[in-house]
Amino acid sequence: MAVAVAGLAAGALLVTGLAAEAGSASAAGSAGLKTLAEAKGRYFGTALTQSNLSVPALTAVAAAQFDMVTPGNEMKWDTTEPSNGSYNFAPGDQIVSYAQSIGAKVRGHNLVWHSQLPSWVSSLPTAQVQAAMEAHITTEATHYKGKVYSWDVVNEPFNEDGTLRQDAFYAAMGSGYIADALRTAHAADPGAKLYLNDYNIEGENAKSDAMYNLVSSLKAQGVPIDGVGLESHFILGQVPSTLQANMQRFAALGVNVAVTELDDRIQLPASSANLSQQASDYAAVVNACLTVTGCVGVSQWGVGDADSWIPGTFSGYGAATMYDNNYQPKPAYSAVVTALGGSTSSPSASASASASPSPSASATGSAGACKVADVVNAWNTGLTENITLTNTGSTTISGWSLGFTLPAGQTVTSAWNTTITPASGTVTGVNLSYNGTLAPGAATTIGFQATHTGNAAAPAAFTLNGRSCTAG
């Protein structure tokens, strides 16, 4: 069965599609990765960056599939404290509010890392590094107190041979910087789960042995440590056979483990055999996590192949995620659904139905100062809808409210980049603090998730500040 797509004019087609779909798609599979994972006591997450939030096809998948969000870059030191004592939490805040809008939690990433570290830190006299590190941790963890599920307190501390990286923190404090960072983070936000996160520690090897010994020693000293993040940037066909045993040995120390940045890179172009292998790789990772009681969840690094850091970092490689460049689910998606106990009979209905902008206009009045493109992705009982509104007028809009009528049976359950009231019938979406100003030509994308009872069509018309919008 093909995808369920609804533009403003495609509602009838959509409803027909859904009727046919309902028989074949299992409710579980259609519910998305997060619902399946939650039924197993786990979460399923993704990394998101600020620019991702304005891609409707991406956010439709994010809202439907993921209940954990890791900011891709927005909470790193170079963004949050670009110069000594001067903090910028706006980008991270935007990711947090988006995550909240889709009912997702946040993995804070990260407080201390040798990379994406502003040069002012590495140029400090060593005697000043500890105070700078503690101030950074305290300020950032306090800012996000109560808003993050966990923190990657120290990111990537190890070399491949299991020695500690000789970065500015190690140079200033020796190995004790890690315990100090954990204690400082705990003091600032006692409710956050505190993690050490690294790559190439997924299987049993010298590097994961070193992490194991470190965690063991931290636990013995009573240092607050709650979990180990296995980044899991895999190469096709190379998921370590010791992944589950390795997770298990960490769990036996009394810490959680999480798969924090999963991707599985393929040498391009990817063949269909490659995509099948990737499906088994993804399933192996999810199965390992489900088998180990202390594994709390799996997060992919980016929603789709178009968002992945892989092509920019590993030349010649790509296609590393569960969604292709157009946010269509790949075989890995079906394999993960199956691993989570769902049905793969109709993955496209549950994932990102093909997201095409509405083909038809819905203008009910003369051309207004606004244009609305509306994309619905629906499954048998629910839908996500992303609405891009553009200021087509010649004056800046300062504050907006978008009026529309939800088709009968639709009830909004969450919204992003807007607040929608009431939940059904004729509703109004109003801007949030960061997207209320629209210069001429500027656009913003908002959206919502809703339940429906069979009619998943888009609203027939929109008004912006009382004026009818054109579609497009």
204 is catalytic: no
Q: Can you tell me which residue has the tokens 């992490």?
A: 211
Instruction: Out of 140, 167, 180, 231, point to the residue binding ligand XIL (CB under 6 A).
Output: 231
Nearest to ligand XIL of 320, 438 (CB atom): 320
| Interface with ligand XIL, residue 232, by CB under 6 A | no
Q: What's the min distance (Å) between Cβ of 261 and ligand XIL?
A: 6
> ω before 269 within 30° of 0 (cis)?
yes
Q: Of residues 21, 81, 231, 261, which has the active-site annotation? A: 261
| Interface with ligand XIL, residue 309, by CB under 6 A | yes
Calpha distance 83→88 (Å, rounded): 10
Q: What's the min distance (Å) between Cβ of 354 and ligand XIL?
A: 26
Nearest to ligand XIL of 306, 373 (CB atom): 306
Radius of gyration from C-alpha coordinates of the chain: 23
Cβ burial, residue 126 (10 Å; 0-12/13-18/19+): exposed
CB atoms within 10 A of CB 139: 16
Q: What's the min distance (Å) between Cβ of 194 and ligand XIL?
A: 16
Nearest to ligand XIL of 136, 452 (CB atom): 136
Calpha distance 352→195 (Å, rounded): 32
Nearest to ligand XIL of 51, 84 (CB atom): 51
CB atoms within 10 A of CB 325: 13
* 246-265 positions binding ligand XIL, by CB under 6 A: 261
| Interface with ligand XIL, residue 189, by CB under 6 A | no
How many helices, marked H, and strands, marked E, lie in the chain?
16, 23
156 is catalytic: yes
CB atoms within 10 A of CB 158: 22
* 321-380 positions binding ligand XIL, by CB under 6 A: none
Site string for ligand XIL, 142-181 (x = CB under 6 A): -------------x--------------------------
* 48-87 positions binding ligand XIL, by CB under 6 A: 72-73
Q: How far is CA 191 from CA 64, 80, 445, in A?
A: 27, 21, 33
Nearest to ligand XIL of 144, 448 (CB atom): 144
Calpha distance 266→53 (Å, rounded): 26
Token output for 265: 């890179």
Nearest to ligand XIL of 155, 418 (CB atom): 155
Q: What's the min distance (Å) between Cβ of 313 and ligand XIL?
A: 7
Q: Of residues 21, 74, 134, 156, which has the active-site annotation? A: 156
- Alpha carbon dihedral 260, 266, 271, 277, in 10-degree steps, equals -50
- Active site positions, annotated: 156, 261
Q: Which residues bind ligand XIL (CB under 6 A)?
A: 72-73, 155, 231, 261, 309
